[in-house]
Amino acid sequence: MKKVLVTGATGFLGKYVVEELSQSGYQVRAFGRNRKMGQSLETSTVAFFQGDLTKQEDLAQACQEMDMVVHAGALSTVWGPWEDFYQTNVLGTKYVLDACREAGIQRLVYVSSPSIYAAPRDQLAIKESDAPQENNLNNYIRSKLASEKLFKDYPDVPSIILRPRGLFGIGDTSILPRVLKLSQKIGIPLIGAGRQLMDMTCVENVALAIRLALEAPQASGEVYNITNGEPRAFKDLIEETLRGLGYPITYRKVPAPLISVIASSLEFLYRVLKLKGEPALTRYTYYLLRYSQTLDISKAERDLGYRPRISISEGIDQYVQDYRKH
């Protein structure tokens, strides 16, 4: 029975990864900071390890006696000081790589982010090789690019990097809750007719892709985009979700230049005045609302045998059923 360490195990994706791996015959060590949540994951094949990504000794200890590592832990918000992102996402990933090297880990799967592709233009069928060398749109993106660059210094650690897009599902703390909050407060901001194409991914499919990456025969620093492989118009996704929940659909048509100016101004104010929290609108969110962005997943399909298990409509339906219970 292969032993796998999963960082970020108490997070939204992490919990699904732990479940996918333990159900597929792996012995899982679930690494995270939240003891209460971590202990709730424990079963006969899952043991919780309380640790912090910013503490090198925690990771070195956690990797001992493991065969493989899934590094899914990260600070993933759209706003915050560089130092926070650097400590957790860049140094944390370096500590994981060091610990893997030290422990002779057979396979490391790192969960990066396709937010690194973000740009003020439509981009369709983005390939992994289209990633820019630099992208300073926000500190999260900067930290993810910097962490990916570390891997070239660890050719002795067999690794695969995944870039999964727009994760959603039961337990989602980011995408759908934000949309619901917006729709109730002010309505959904609509730029143009809302026909911008976007990719989403059911969280279960990302957990599957991670397992496939652990099991892939080759791992020499390859990078793979992961999505549901069914790009949809922004407006269609919103309407399918809100209809399912029985919520009224209210749009606010907003001219693109106005949103752009507001986002840039808010970011400027937050930066200069060092305000707490995050701006109500960021340039990153503006790009998501304004431009089409879809990813090419043919490489993951070919090399990893990746086929999404759950469609977007099924994922939305599951979310809706669960939401109605609470």
Q: Could you list the pLDDT tens digit for every one of the 326 residues in the chain?
A: 999 999 999 999 999 999 999 999 999 999 999 999 999 999 999 999 999 999 999 999 999 999 999 999 999 988 999 999 999 999 999 999 999 999 999 999 999 999 999 999 999 999 999 999 999 999 999 999 999 999 999 999 999 999 999 999 999 877 788 777 877 887 888 998 999 999 999 999 999 999 999 999 887 889 999 999 999 999 999 999 999 989 888 898 989 999 999 999 999 999 999 898 889 889 998 998 899 999 999 999 999 999 999 999 999 999 999 988 88
pLDDT value at position 182? 77
Written as one letter, the residue type at 10 is T
Residues 6+ apart with CB under 8 A from 241: 176, 179, 316, 319, 320
Residues 6+ apart with CB under 8 A from 325: none
Which residues share a beta bridge with 201? 167
How far apart (Å, rounded) are the C-alpha atoms in residues 151 and 326?
Answer: 42
pLDDT value at position 181? 80
Residues 6+ apart with CB under 8 A from 108: 68, 69, 70, 71, 96, 97, 100, 157, 158, 159, 160, 219
pLDDT value at position 146? 98
pLDDT value at position 227? 98
Identify the sign of the CA torsion 159, 127, 144, 42: negative
Contact 226, 216 (CB under 8 A): no
pTM exceeds 0.85 for this model: yes
Residues 6+ apart with CB under 8 A from 292: 122, 123, 124, 196, 197, 198
Q: Outline where 250-311 has alpha helix (H).
A: 256-272, 283-290, 298-304
How far apart (Å, rounded) are the C-alpha atoms in residues 266 and 137?
Answer: 14
Class of residue 299 by CB neighbours under 10 A (exposed 0-12, middle 13-18, buried 19+): middle
Q: What is the pLDDT of residues 144-190, one digit of tens each?
A: 999 999 999 999 999 999 999 999 999 987 778 877 787 788 788 89
The candidate with the shortest Cα–Cα distance to 30, out of 54, 52, 4, is 4
How far apart (Å, rounded) are the C-alpha atoms in residues 164 and 181?
Answer: 24
How far apart (Å, rounded) are the C-alpha atoms in residues 115 and 128?
Answer: 12
CATH 3.40.50.720 fits 3-172+199-229+294-309, yes or no: yes
